[in-house]
Amino acid sequence: MILNEIEQERYELALERLQEIASGRDESLKLNKTAEQFFVHEAAFLVKMEQLRQDLAAGVYRDASLADLQAQNRKLYAEILPKNYAACYGNPSFAAEQFGENGQVMSFLYMELRGAVVYAYENRPWDLLILMELLLTFYSSFAAACEEAEETELTPEPDALRQEIYWYAYDYCPEFMHHRVQETLDPARSFAADIILQEDLTDPRYLYRFGEYITENEIRTAAFLAKMTEEEIESIARTWTEGYRIGFIVGRKDLSIKDTVNIRWRLGFERVVRAAIRQFEAMGLKSVLYRSAAHIVNKHAHVRVGWYGAVPNPQFEYDHRNDSALYVDERFISHRLQTLQQAYEEEKELAAVHGGPAVMETFGEKTFTPENNSAALNLTAEQQQLAARYQTEAGQITNRYIKGEERSFTIIAYPVPDIGAQFEEIFQETVRINNLDYKLYQNIQQNLIDALNEGVKVHITGRNGNKTDLTVALHPLTDPETQTIFENCVADVNIPVGEVFTSPQLTGTNGLLHVKQVFLEGLQYHDLKIRLTDGMISEYSCANFADEAENRQLIEENILFHHPTVPIGEFAIGTNTTAYQVAHTYGIADKFPILIAEKMGPHFAMGDTCYSFQEDVAVYNPDGKEIIARDNERSLLRKTDPEQAYFGCHTDITIPYEELGAIRVIRADGSEITLLENGRFVLPGTEVLNEPLDALQ
């Protein structure tokens, strides 16, 4: 955003003031030592970010050596790295030690100011101005508290500082959200695309043009891909882009009316992204590339959406997942929804021609098990309800402008070097998994679907310590000749191949789902148990923490997403035993993302169905039968009470084959068809799926 004349004047005044504070020349105001250290530190940081912005714009680092770029990158992120986190203002516990009751607010301020790195690299002076003025507002509040009583040890009242944050978020919400909507839709915002298309991607220095934290993972990934031939890169990208194209065909949607596609990935894979950009362009699609959000108003707790580099410290981001507790109330949520609506209305032409995302996930990163920080912010029960309401209504607004019946997506995953010494072998095995025979799996899975269509329920049990005992109720077929309950999912939107899935009926879906260990949205859960009563979560627990209340909080935040309960939105049977074989051959079963892991056994999604906002769009299997199980009792409320229909979440939980006792289809007369027994496929026509499993014996 270019500064106008008034903003430029504000910018210069704010920068001058920060320079005085950073240099210690500001003698007119006295603060206590703790506050003085904080403000000197943060003022110096923002001054450095402004200088960095100018240097980058002038091309100062254009020819810098790799060693110099690495040193600069480490300095930018050093404070929040795990080894330094104990004494970092971004650590709520340390901030509480320093500032007492004001610790949470000051830690939030530190977190928000970190966005200056992004704004420096993307040459966004307006965003830097807003941060400068935010810091100066806090500085003035501390100074006023001391001046009023002529005592340097006094600090502002916590409520006063919270009000500063509230009005910061409220007042700038329209600008923050409009910018976010624009960058998610407009291919002209080409910061990342320019780097990818113009830089020498065999020179690792290009990685440091983005402004993200760079580790050996990104460097080694880029170096590995740099060794590949152009044909190999094109092939990897083709699997991804063709999945996107085929998704429109299978969904009977018109790709020709779309102009843009959003590409999301993690740094290191730019050669593949470059090939994908060109392949999409050949389809008539311009690529939209946006970074994961930096402003608090646009963030998704600790989950990054968009493109990004290495996460310097997952605990840092986890500790700040509920920072919105400082400002979320009824007025703010209504204001945020209104500004989202306005932003989409202003960008409705771009929204109408947007086709949806093409996502590349990564796996193999060091496992992160969160620790609860007692000083971190938490949402109140009322705020949790408001956050859940926002997710639901924001999804409905988005769907009105990027219509669900017209858009699609695709998602694929590849490993990073952190996965271990056999990274290159595992990468090639993943390529093989992502390119398994489409037709072979389609035919095998049709056998499963034919058997499932005979049933009214499915009974799933565990073994080897897995206590799962769950009955899933199926939708009734009124015309078996033209209808089916399960979707035959091969390799289009959801790569790799390997599942059949349905939206269960809630009434009659009862029992316990249990997994001994599972990795969901970047968090590892131990001994996760979820009890369903008529399809809704009624009890839940895990064994991550000694304190049961902390375990419940973990599930409430990251599986229930602050709803008092959510329904089961999907039941599926994974058939990708090749992925399972690779996982166990290389000892990486706990590293696979849910995208692949869900294909390695039955899985159950908690939240919305797979057809959210598209329930009225007819969907067909390759055999021509319509998939009629697109709704459940909650999603049907969209017709009478939309606020109760959707939950804004969909979390897949998989039981691996080694923990699977049996899956049996129960017919209306009580007779059964066994699909799997003791982790092996026994239904005629599916036995070939056991070959990879038998190879492990």
- In this structure, of 104-108, 191-195, 379-383, 519-523, the range with the lowest mean pLDDT score is 519-523
Q: Are 661 and 676 in contact (CB under 8 A)?
A: no
- Beta-ladder partners of 585: none
Per-residue pLDDT, 323: 96
CA distances from 429 to 276, 425, 506, 581, 684 (A): 21, 6, 38, 10, 28
Residue 368 predicted with pLDDT over 90: no
The token duo for 108 is 């939030």
> pLDDT category, 257, cuts 50, 70, 90?
very high
> pLDDT category, 154, cuts 50, 70, 90?
low
268: left (phi over 0), alpha (psi -120 to 50) or beta: left
The token duo for 656 is 């691996």
Tell which residue, 179, 183, 208, has the closest CA to residue 121: 208
- Whether cis (ω within 30° of 0) applies to the bond prior to 496 is yes
Buried b (16+ CB within 10 A) or exposed e, 269-282: bbbbbbbbbebbee
Rg (CA), the chain: 26
Label the pairing between strands 505-520 and 469-473: antiparallel
Q: Are 313 and 85 in contact (CB under 8 A)?
A: yes
pLDDT digit string, tens, across residues 447-490: 999 999 999 999 999 999 999 999 999 999 999 999 999 999 87
Residue 615 predicted with pLDDT over 90: no
pLDDT digit string, tens, across residues 640-666: 887 788 888 899 999 988 999 999 999
Nearest 5 degrees, angle CA 200-CA 240-CA 344? 90
Per-residue pLDDT, 595: 86
Domain boundaries, the chain: 5-173, 191-401, 436-694
DSSP-H helix ranges across 251-309: 270-282
Distance CA 226, CA 650 (A): 36
Buried b (16+ CB within 10 A) or exposed e, 675-686: bbeebbbebeeb
Q: Are 640 and 633 in contact (CB under 8 A)?
A: no
Q: Are 414 and 426 in contact (CB under 8 A)?
A: no
Distance CA 474, CA 451 (A): 12
Residue 630 gets which letter from DSSP? Answer: -
- Decide: residue 692, CB within 10 A, 0-12 exposed, 13-18 middle, 19+ buried: middle
